[in-house]
C-alpha cells in the first residue's frame, strides 16, 4: 500500500500541472464535495483494497514489471495509430503507464477470488472459451479496420490470434478475461466521460475498449507464466554456480 501511495505521490509531483488543472475546477469555498470525482475515488479505493489482499512481493514484482511493459506497448500502439488520443496529445503519455501495473495487481486479486468461488470443473468451459475469445477477435477486427494498414495493428492482431489459438488453461483465461473486462469498464467509463482519452469512434466507452482490458489481462498472465518459466530454469543454474560444499572447495 505504501508503494501504491508513493507512486501516486510521484505522479502528482512530476505531473503537477495536470493535478493543478483538475483541482482548479473545485470550489473550495462552497460545497466542494459536489466537485469531487467520486467515480475516480471509488476506483482508487477498490484497487487499494484489492492490491492489499493476499499481497506477495515474490510474485507481485513480476506482475508489476509485466504490467508496466505491457501497458507501454498497448498505449504506444493505440496512440501511434490514433485509435485513441489523450487530451495532452502525448503518444503515449508516460503518466498513464503506472496505472497498468496497479490494474494488473487488482485483476490478479479478482481472478483469485473468482477461482475460489466458481466450480473448478466446468463442462462447457472450452466452448465458452471459443465463444468469448472468438467473439472478441471479430470485434477487434471490426474496431481496428481503419488502421489495418499500420504495422502495429497487424502485429497486435497476430499476437491476439496467437494467444487465442494457444490456450494453456481455458478456465483461468476465461476468468482473467472476465476480471479484466469488469475492472476495465469502470476505468474506461471514467477516462472517456472525463475526456481524459477519446476513441476515434467517439463512444464513451466502446465495447471493444472494455473487453480489450480483459484480453490485455490474459496477455499479461501468459507473459507472467513465461517469465516464471525462464526464471525457474535460470535459478538452478545460479545455485549450481554458487554451490560451496562442506570442504570449502567450489563444486562443479
Q: Can you give the three-state secondary structure of 117-135, one letter per residue? A: HCCCCCCCHHHHHHHHHHH
| Run of H or E residues at 65 | helix 57-80
Distance CA 245, CA 45 (A): 51
Which of the two residues, 197 and 120, has the higher pLDDT score? 197
- pLDDT band, very low/low/confident/very high, at 121 (cuts 50, 70, 90): confident
Q: How many helices (H) and strands (E) does the chain have?
A: 9, 2
What is the gyration radius of the CA atoms in the chain, in angstroms?
A: 21
Could you list the beta-strand ranges (E) of the chain.
84-86, 197-199
Place of cell 504506444: 76
Peptide bond into 205 cis (omega under 30): yes
pLDDT in the model for residue 162: 97
**pLDDT tens by residue, 185-210:** 999 999 999 899 999 999 999 999 99
Average pLDDT over residues 12-32: 76
pTM of the model: 0.85
Place of cell 505491457: 70
Most confident segment among 12-21, 41-50, 113-122? 41-50
Mean pLDDT over each residue of the chain, to the nearest integer: 89
Amino acid at each position: 500500500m505504501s508503494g501504491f501511495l508513493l507512486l501516486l505521490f510521484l505522479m502528482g509531483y512530476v505531473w503537477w500541472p495536470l493535478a493543478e488543472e483538475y483541482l482548479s475546477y473545485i470550489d473550495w469555498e462552497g460545497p466542494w464535495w459536489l466537485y469531487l470525482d467520486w467515480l475516480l475515488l471509488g476506483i482508487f479505493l477498490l484497487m487499494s483494497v484489492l492490491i492489499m489482499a493476499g499481497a506477495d512481493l515474490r510474485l507481485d514484482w513480476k506482475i508489476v514489471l509485466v504490467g508496466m511493459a505491457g501497458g507501454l506497448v498497448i498505449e504506444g500502439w493505440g496512440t501511434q495509430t490514433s485509435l485513441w488520443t489523450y487530451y495532452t496529445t502525448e503518444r503515449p503519455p508516460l503518466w498513464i503507464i503506472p496505472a497498468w501495473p496497479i490494474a494488473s495487481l487488482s485483476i490478479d486479486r479478482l481472478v483469485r477470488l473468482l477461482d475460489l468461488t466458481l466450480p473448478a470443473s466446468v463442462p462447457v468451459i472450452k466452448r465458452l472459451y471459443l465463444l468469448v475469445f472468438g467473439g472478441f477477435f471479430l470485434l477487434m477486427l471490426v474496431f481496428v479496420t481503419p488502421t489495418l494498414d499500420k504495422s502495429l495493428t497487424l502485429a497486435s492482431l497476430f499476437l491476439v490470434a496467437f494467444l487465442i489459438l494457444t490456450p494453456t488453461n481455458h478456465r483461468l483465461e476465461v476468468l482473467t478475461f472476465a476480471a479484466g473486462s469488469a475492472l476495465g469498464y469502470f476505468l474506461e467509463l471514467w477516462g472517456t466521460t472525463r475526456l481524459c482519452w477519446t476513441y476515434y469512434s467517439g463512444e464513451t466507452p466502446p465495447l471493444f475498449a472494455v473487453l480489450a482490458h480483459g484480453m490485455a489481462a490474459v496477455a499479461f498472465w501468459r507473459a507472467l507464466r513465461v517469465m516464471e518459466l525462464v526464471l525457474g530454469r535460470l535459478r538452478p543454474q545460479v545455485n549450481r554456480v554458487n554451490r560451496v560444499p562442506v570442504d570449502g572447495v567450489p563444486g562443479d
